[in-house]
């Protein structure tokens, strides 16, 4: 089993989402000792946002017509989408930034959302091609936004993953972490309970 561990917070050891992804990966590997873990740190190695060079894989430019920069960007996009497709389990650290996800996480999503690789259009509409994997999202928020209309973080991630065919998505949530030390401690304790619960549910889904 292959597990892709993704962090996107730039806060290093001060990051709650990083703490939760570490604990989630540790719980998963304790349940599945043979799991091979690969770590992708988007705060350290963030792909460039899409531009006329990095859009090469979407524009269908012939290989002989690509510039050297476009070839490099295409190679990076291929590496990222291949890494994602090869994973059986993906653990994503996704703090809420301005009601959505960090820009570096969005840049990664834009690289792996590739027609013909993770989705395709059919006469009946779009079809996801990346199904069969489990995703666990470590969601952290400074305030409390569950079921709030301004939450464009968890809903967005579920939507874009679902578009790519990934429907086995589990949330480990810590919210209110900027509302004082007591609230932060309670949020982390709640998230740790989520880790136990969601990994168990994910196990049941895989075994079914």
Domain edges within the chain: 2-207
116 is in an annotated binding site: no
pTM of the full predicted structure? 0.93
Element (H, E) at 44: none
Instruction: Please tell me whether 159 is known to bind a ligand.
Output: no
Pairing outcome for strands 2-7 and 89-95? parallel
The answer to whether 143 is a known ligand-binding residue is: yes
pLDDT digits (tens, 9 = 90+) for 69-125: 888 998 999 999 999 999 999 999 999 999 999 999 999 999 999 999 999 999 999
140 is in an annotated binding site: yes
First to last CA, the chain: 16
Torsion of CA 125, 130, 136, 142, to 10 degrees: -50
Q: Is 134 annotated as a binding residue?
A: no
Is residue 121 annotated as involved in ligand binding?
no
Residue 164 annotated as binding? no
| CB atoms inside a 10 Å sphere around CB 101 | 24
CATH of 2-207, one of 3.40.190.290, 3.40.50.360, 3.40.190.10, 1.10.3720.10: 3.40.50.360
| pLDDT (0 to 100) of residue 56 | 66
CA distance 155 to 158: 5
pLDDT of res. 178: 95
Residues of the chain with pLDDT under 50: none
* Alpha carbon distance 35, 24 (integer Å): 13
Q: Is 119 labelled as part of a ligand binding site?
A: no
172 is in an annotated binding site: no
173 a known binding residue?
A: no
């Amino acid at each position: 089993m292959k597990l892709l561990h993704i962090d996107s917070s730039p806060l290093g050891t001060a990051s709650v989402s990083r703490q939760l992804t570490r604990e989630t990966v540790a719980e998963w590997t304790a349940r599945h000792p043979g799991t091979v873990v690969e770590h992708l740190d988007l705060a350290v190695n963030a792909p460039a946002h899409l531009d006329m060079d990095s859009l090469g894989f979407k524009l269908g430019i012939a290989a002989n017509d690509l510039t050297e920069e476009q070839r490099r960007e295409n190679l990076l996009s291929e590496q990222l989408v291949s890494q994602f497709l090869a994973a059986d389990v993906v653990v994503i650290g996704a703090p809420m930034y301005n009601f959505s996800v960090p820009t570096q996480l969005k840049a990664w999503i834009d690289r792996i959302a590739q027609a013909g690789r993770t989705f395709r259009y059919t006469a009946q509409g779009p079809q996801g091609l990346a199904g069969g994997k489990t995703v666990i999202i470590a969601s952290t928020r400074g305030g409390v936004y569950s079921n709030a209309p301004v939450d464009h973080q968890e809903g967005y991630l579920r939507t874009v993953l679902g578009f790519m065919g990934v429907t086995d998505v589990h949330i480990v949530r810590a919210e209110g972490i900027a509302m004082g030390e007591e609230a932060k401690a309670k949020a982390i304790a709640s998230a740790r309970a989520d880790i136990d619960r969601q990994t168990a549910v994910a196990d049941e889904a895989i075994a079914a």
